[in-house]
Structure formats: structure tokens, C-alpha cells
Amino acid sequence: MVSMKEIAAECGVSIATVSKALNDHRDVGEATKSRIRSVAKQKGYLPNAQARALKTNRTRNLGVLFIDEAHSGLTHDYFAMVLESFKRMVEERGYDITFINNSQKGRNGLSILEHCRCRGFDGVVIACVDFTDPQVEELVYSGLPVVTIDHLFEGKAAVLSDNVTGMGDLLRYIYSQGHRRIAYLHGERESSVTKSRVEAFLETARELGLEIPAEYLDEAPYRDIREAGEATRRLLDLKDPPSCILYPDDYACFGGINAIREQGLRVPEDISVAGYDGIRIAMHLEPRLTTVCQDMEAIGRAAGERLMELIEQPEKGSEEPGVIPGQVYPGETVSQWKE
């Protein structure tokens, strides 16, 4: 295997200059960096990760803690796109990512934090987990650079979709279409995303002068087609059913549409529906789903940028969360309505 000494001899520079160039130090000129990297590539030079970690105190490896209780894994439409964007961003900066095993809790007697330290992660991004889990909280407050997605710990870095504005804008759009009997099947109550959206839904309803009966607010877990269908049937069986139903996400909304059609009703002619997320398939089905398109690309990239900042420039770290706006996509599942 070729060594840095051989590359230095070929380029007529010191070994220290080769090391700095390969690690992108600022005190080496771009022309020199380019020449050294070109020679290293031609000779097939591969850095020793352990040696590099000893010198820089970094492994350039990041952990991804993603524990989806529905076991959808990376078929999870929303988080798959967020994490793909995160992956591309950090790889541009020369980092690799490693997923932390879902069964890691208690494995070999190690906590999640201990596992992260054993793997030498420079930082961790956390998404779609039980944020009240003591092991997750231990990791967040451990001092290891950590960024959470769609959940905020006080004083810690986070990237959030603007669920408050998104839900408010969606309800205003539906109101503008003439609907006044609007139900909301929200996700799990303990989720911070759910809390933000429910509060925004109720606050916007008050602003619009809408009365929301208690039975119009019900729970349907995220990405659960069966439960969304059951909750929809309960709403349709009411003496005064809603004219429009909001769902926790686009995927769950498909379960609601199925239940509506099973009762011989049409979407949107007989009843309107709206989702949340803006997953790709929802844009291609007929009728196209009315939803809030979250900017998954921007969320993933922002999470990567915040984590890079914590690792490489910790003195610049900000406690302010990054909030990424979404946008209402009108689609075709909310009709003009006359009470």
C-alpha cells in the first residue's frame, strides 16, 4: 500500500503538507491540494481511519438513530427522503453514516450512548424515536454532537418542520373552499409533532370562528391505514358527520379514502379529505391528494449542516432550532362546498 511518504516524494513536498492537503487544511494552497490529491488517487492511496482518528480526534463517521415503531424502516416515505437528503449532504463533506441498530438497547449490556462511543461517532442525528426514552435523553445530553429532527430538547440543536404554520394554512384553505364541519384525525398524542399540529388546528379554528365538536377530534396513529379507516367509519356514523376530514399523514389518509369508498361515498364529491407530508405517491394518484408538502430535502440538508457545525465549529453552535416551512398543495380531494 502506498504511503504518504511516497506521495510527498512524488510531489516534492513534506509529509506534513500531504497530510494537510488530504485533510483539507486551509494553510495549503488549492493548486497544491489538487496536485497531491491527484497523485494520491493515481497511486491508490487509502488513509488509515484509525490513524486519522488519533490525529484529528475524528472518525468522520456519523450515527443515525432511527427507530420506527411501525417497522416501516426506510420505506417510511417522509423520513426516507429526509435521511437520504441528510446522507447526501454529509457525504459531500467526507463523512460516512452508520445506522444504530433498532435492537441496540440492552445489547451486550451497552446503552445507546455507550454504543455510540464504542463506534466512535463524531455525532448523531436522531429521528422518529420515542424521545421520552431515558436512553435517548441520555444521548442528547451527553455532550456528543446531536441533532434531532421534528423534536425539540431545550437548549439542543434541532431541525423542525413548521407544523404550526402548515396546519394553520391547510385549515384556512379548507375553510376557503366553504367547509365548516371539519374533523381532524391526528397522530399519537404524546408526539411533539401532534401537539404542535393540534394546537395550531384549534387556534386557527378559533380565529375562523369554527366550532369543532369533541367527536371531530380523534386519534389515528401515523402511517396506520387500518386505524385511519376505523376512525373514519366512526366519523361517518355520526348524526352530523364532517364534510372534510384531515389525517395525520398522507399514508394514513389512504385508509380513510378506502373506508369512505366502502360506504359508497365519493371523494371529493360527497366528502373531502386532506393529508399531511406531500409524499410522492400522493401526487400521482387520482384524485391527487390535498396535503401540506413538507420540504424533506431542506430538512435533511439542514440537519446535516447543523451537525457539521456542532462537530467542526462548536463555538458557533446555536440553540435556536432550524424551522423549515412547508406549503399547501391544493390537489383534488377538497371540493368547493356549500352547507
Cβ-contact 119, 63 below 8 angstroms: yes
Closest CA to 90 of 130, 40, 34, 147: 147
Residue ranges, comma separated, of all CATH 3.40.50.2300 domains in the chain are 61-160+297-324, 163-294
* Angstrom distance (rounded) from CA 140 to CA 144: 7
The set of cell numbers assigned to 213 is 365538536
Q: Torsion angle, CA of 306/311/316/321, rounded to 10 degrees?
A: 30
| pLDDT of 226 | 95
Q: Which residues of the chain have pLDDT under 70?
A: 1, 46-57, 68-75, 101-109, 317-318
- In terms of CATH architecture, what is 61-160+297-324? 3-Layer(aba) Sandwich (3.40)
Q: Which CATH architecture describes the domain 4-47?
A: Orthogonal Bundle (1.10)
Q: State the pTM of this model.
A: 0.80
The CATH-assigned architecture of domain 163-294 is 3-Layer(aba) Sandwich (3.40)
The answer to whether 126 and 149 are in contact (CB under 8 A) is yes
Q: What cell was used for 6? A: 511516497
Question: What is the tens place of the pLDDT at every residue in 128-144?
Answer: 888 888 999 999 999 89
Chain-centre distance for alpha carbon 323: 12
Residues of the chain with CATH 1.10.260.40: 4-47
At 166, list the grid cell: 402548515
pLDDT for 22 equals 81
Q: How far apart are CA 38 and CA 279, in angstroms?
A: 41
What pLDDT was estimated at residue 243? 97
State residue 106's pLDDT score: 46
